[in-house]
Structure 1
Amino acid sequence: MAEDAQLHPSGDPLLAAKFAVPAVPPAFVARQRLLDRLTEGARGPLTVITGPAGAGKTTLAASWREADLAPGPVVWLTVESDDNAPGVFWAYVLGAFRYHRVPLPDGVGSPSSADNVDHSLIVRLAGALAQLPEPVVLVLDGLEHAGGHGIAAELDFVLAHAGPSLRLVLIGRVDPALPLPRYRAEARVCEIRGSELAFTQRETAQLLRCHGLTPSRESVGVLTERTQGWAAGLRLCALAMQRTEDAEHFAQSFAASQNAVSDYLTAEVLAAQPAATQDLLVRTSILSHVHPGLADALTGRDDGARILGGLVRDNAFVEPIGDTSWYRCHPLFAEVLRAHLRSRSPALAAPLHREAACWLGAHDRLTDAIEHAAAADDWPYAAGLLVDRLATGRLLTGPEGPRLERVFRSMPDGLPGTAPALAAAACALARGDAAAGRKHLAGARPGRDAAPEVLLTRALLGLLTGADTGTGSTAPRTPATAGGGDGRTPPTEGWDPDRGTPDPDRATPDPDREVRALMDRVDRALLARHPEIEALRRYGRGRALLAAGHGSEAREAFAAALAAAADEQTWTVRYHCLGALALSEAVDGLLREAEAHARDGLKAAEEHGIPLDRRTARCHLALAAVAADRGDLAGAGRYLAAARAHATAHDVPAAAEAAVLRSRLELAHGRATAALSALDDVPVSADGPARAGGEAAGRIAVARCSVHLARGDPAAALAALGEAPTGGPAVAVAAAAARLAAGDAEPARRLLAGLPGGDRVPPAVRVRAQLLEARSAAVEGDTARAVPLVAAAVRTARPQGLRAPFTEAGPWLRHLLARAPGLADAGAWLTGRSADTEKRSGRGTGTRSGPEDAAAGAPLLVEQLSPRERDVLRCAAQTMSTDEIAAELFLSVNTVKTHLKSVYRKLSVSRRSEAVRRARDIGLL
Structure 2
Amino acid sequence: MPRSRAPAARDSGGEPRDTRDTRTSANVPASARGGADALRGPTGDPLLAAKFAIPAVPRTLVRRQRLLDQLTTGTAGPLTLITGPAGAGKTTLAASWVAEGTAPDPVVWLTAEHEDRAPGIFWSYVLEALRHHQVELPENPDRPGSAEFVEHSLLAGLASGLARRHRPVVFVLDGLDQIPVREVTSALDFVLSHAGPSLRLVVISRVDPLLPLHRYRAQGRICEIRSADLAFTRQEAAALLRGHGLESCEESVDALTARTGGWAAGLRLCALEMQRADDPNGFARSFAASQSAVADYLLAEVLDTQPEATRDLLMRSSILDRVHPDLANTLTGREDAEWILAGLTRAGAFVESVAGTRWCRFQPLFAEVLRTHLRHHHPGLEPRLRRRAAAWLAGHDRLTEALEQAAATEDWEWAAARVVDHLEIGRLLTGPEAQRLENCFAGMPRDLPGTASALVAAACAAAQYDLAGCRAHLDRAEEHIRTGQAQPCPETQLALSLLRLLSSPGTRDREGGCDAVHEADQTLDLAGHVPPARRVRHPEIEALRRYGLARGLLLTGRLGAARTAFAAAADGCTGATDVVRHHSLGQLALLESVHGELNEAEEHARFALATARNRSVPPARRSGIGHLALAAVALERGDLRGARHHLDLASECPDAEHDPVARTEMLVVRTRLALAQGRWRAALAVLAAPAVRPPTSAPWPSQRIALANSASQLARGDPAAAITALHEAGPDTSSHVIALARAHLASGDPDRALGLVPPPDDQRDAGIAQRVDILLIRAHAALLAKDTKTAHSTLGEALTAARPETLRGPFLDAGPWVRHLLELRPDTAHRHAWLTARPAAVNGTFRAGRLPVDGSPSAPLVVEQLSDRERQVLQHCAQVMSTEEIAEAMCLSVNTVKTHLRSIYRKLVVSRRGEAVRRARELSLLPPAVEQGAYREGGFGS
Q: Which runs of 5+ in 2 are unaligned?
A: 1-50, 72-83, 96-101, 104-227, 272-292, 849-855, 864-919, 925-942
Give the alignment of 1:660-675 within 5 angstroms. Answer: 660-675=668-683
Letter in 2 for 1:536: L
Residue aligned with 2:441, SS: helix
Number of aligned residue pairs? 633
1:734 matched to which residue of 2? 739
1:602 matched to which residue of 2? 609
RMSD across aligned C-alpha pairs, in angstroms?
Answer: 4.9
Letter in 2 for 1:858: L
Contact 2:430 2:577 in 1 (8 A): yes
1:652 matched to which residue of 2? 660
2:861 matched to which residue of 1? 858
* Compared CA separation, residues 755 and 651, structure 1 to 2 (3 A): farther
Residue aligned with 1:649, SS: coil
Please state how far the C-alpha of 1:659 moved relative to its aligned partner. Answer: 2.1
* Compared CA separation, residues 440 and 451, structure 1 to 2 (3 A): same
CA displacement, residues 741-783 of structure 1 (integer Å, 9 cap, x when unaligned): 2223333233213899344222212211221122222212233
Please state how far the C-alpha of 1:842 moved relative to its aligned partner. Answer: 10
Letter in 2 for 1:365: R
2:498 matched to which residue of 1? 460
Indicate which of 686, 710, 717 corresponds to 1:678.
Answer: 686
CA displacement, residues 45-72 of structure 1 (integer Å, 9 cap, x when unaligned): 999xxxxx975325559999xxxxx99x
Q: Does 1:56 align with 2:83?
A: no
Give the alignment of 1:169-318 within 5 angstroms. Answer: 171-174=264-267, 262=299, 269=306, 272-273=308-309, 283-299=316-332, 304-305=337-338
1:395 matched to which residue of 2? 428
Q: Does 1:559 align with 2:592?
A: no
1:414 matched to which residue of 2? 447
Take 1:54 and 1:301, find their aligned partners in 2: how far apart are those partners? Answer: 26
CA displacement, residues 302-325 of structure 1 (integer Å, 9 cap, x when unaligned): 665576668779999876555533
Take 2:337 and 2:321, find their aligned partners in 1: how far apart are those partners? Answer: 16
* Compared CA separation, residues 38 and 613, structure 1 to 2 (3 A): closer
Please state how far the C-alpha of 1:705 moved relative to its aligned partner. Answer: 0.8
Please state how far the C-alpha of 1:808 moved relative to its aligned partner. Answer: 1.4
The TM-score with structure 2 as length reference comes to 0.58
Deviates more, 1:259-268 or 1:826-835: 259-268
Letter in 1 for 2:324: H
Give the alignment of 1:216-615 within 5 angstroms. Answer: 262=299, 269=306, 272-273=308-309, 283-299=316-332, 304-305=337-338, 321-322=354-355, 324-327=357-360, 338-445=371-478, 446=481, 449-466=487-504, 491=513, 510-567=518-575, 569-615=576-622
Letter in 2 for 1:404: L
1:689 matched to which residue of 2? 695
Letter in 2 for 1:728: T
CA displacement, residues 156-209 of structure 1 (integer Å, 9 cap, x when unaligned): 9xx9xxxxxxxx98735235999xxxxxxxxxxxxxxxxxxxxxxxxxxxxxxx
Q: Percent identity?
A: 41
Please state how far the C-alpha of 1:433 moved relative to its aligned partner. Answer: 2.7
Letter in 2 for 1:619: G
2:821 matched to which residue of 1? 816
Indicate which of 798, 802, 806 corresponds to 1:797.
Answer: 802
Please state how far the C-alpha of 1:348 moved relative to its aligned partner. Answer: 3.2
Take 2:556 and 2:859, find their aligned partners in 1: how far apart are those partners? Answer: 31
CA displacement, residues 316-356 of structure 1 (integer Å, 9 cap, x when unaligned): 98765555333456778755653454245433332322221
Residue aligned with 1:460, SS: helix
Please state how far the C-alpha of 1:379 moved relative to its aligned partner. Answer: 0.6
* Compared CA separation, residues 545 and 755, structure 1 to 2 (3 A): farther
Contact 1:631 1:859 in 2 (8 A): no
Letter in 1 for 2:444: M
Residue aligned with 2:823, SS: helix
1:618 matched to which residue of 2? 625
Indicate which of 707, 710, 726 corresponds to 2:712.
Answer: 707
Q: Does 1:760 align with 2:853?
A: no
Letter in 2 for 1:695: W
* Compared CA separation, residues 623 and 359, structure 1 to 2 (3 A): same
* Compared CA separation, residues 389 and 832, structure 1 to 2 (3 A): same
Please state how far the C-alpha of 1:790 moved relative to its aligned partner. Answer: 2.0
Take 1:859 and 1:575, find their aligned partners in 2: how far apart are those partners? Answer: 35
Letter in 2 for 1:544: G
Contact 2:302 2:349 in 1 (8 A): no
Please state how far the C-alpha of 1:565 moved relative to its aligned partner. Answer: 1.9
Take 1:589 and 1:732, find their aligned partners in 2: how far apart are those partners? Answer: 16
Please state how far the C-alpha of 1:800 moved relative to its aligned partner. Answer: 0.7
* Compared CA separation, residues 339 and 709, structure 1 to 2 (3 A): closer
* Compared CA separation, residues 468 and 360, structure 1 to 2 (3 A): farther
* Compared CA separation, residues 755 and 341, structure 1 to 2 (3 A): farther
CA displacement, residues 653-707 of structure 1 (integer Å, 9 cap, x when unaligned): 222222222222222222111111122347568xx7234x322221121111111
Take 1:842 and 1:38, find their aligned partners in 2: how far apart are those partners? Answer: 67
Please state how far the C-alpha of 1:553 moved relative to its aligned partner. Answer: 2.3
Take 2:595 and 2:733, find their aligned partners in 1: how far apart are those partners? Answer: 12
Contact 1:455 1:518 in 2 (8 A): yes
* Compared CA separation, residues 723 and 842, structure 1 to 2 (3 A): closer
* Compared CA separation, residues 34 and 452, structure 1 to 2 (3 A): farther
Q: Does 1:638 align with 2:650?
A: no
Letter in 1 for 2:533: A
Q: Which runs of 5+ in 1 are unaligned?
A: 1-28, 48-52, 65-69, 72-136, 160-167, 179-255, 478-490, 493-506, 844-852, 861-910, 916-925
Q: Does 1:774 align with 2:812?
A: no
Letter in 2 for 1:804: G
Contact 2:324 2:360 in 1 (8 A): yes
Please state how far the C-alpha of 1:617 moved relative to its aligned partner. Answer: 1.8
Contact 1:463 1:512 in 2 (8 A): yes
Take 1:431 and 1:394, find their aligned partners in 2: how far apart are those partners? Answer: 14
Please state how far the C-alpha of 1:541 moved relative to its aligned partner. Answer: 2.0
1:718 matched to which residue of 2? 723
Take 1:811 and 1:317, find their aligned partners in 2: how far apart are those partners? Answer: 75
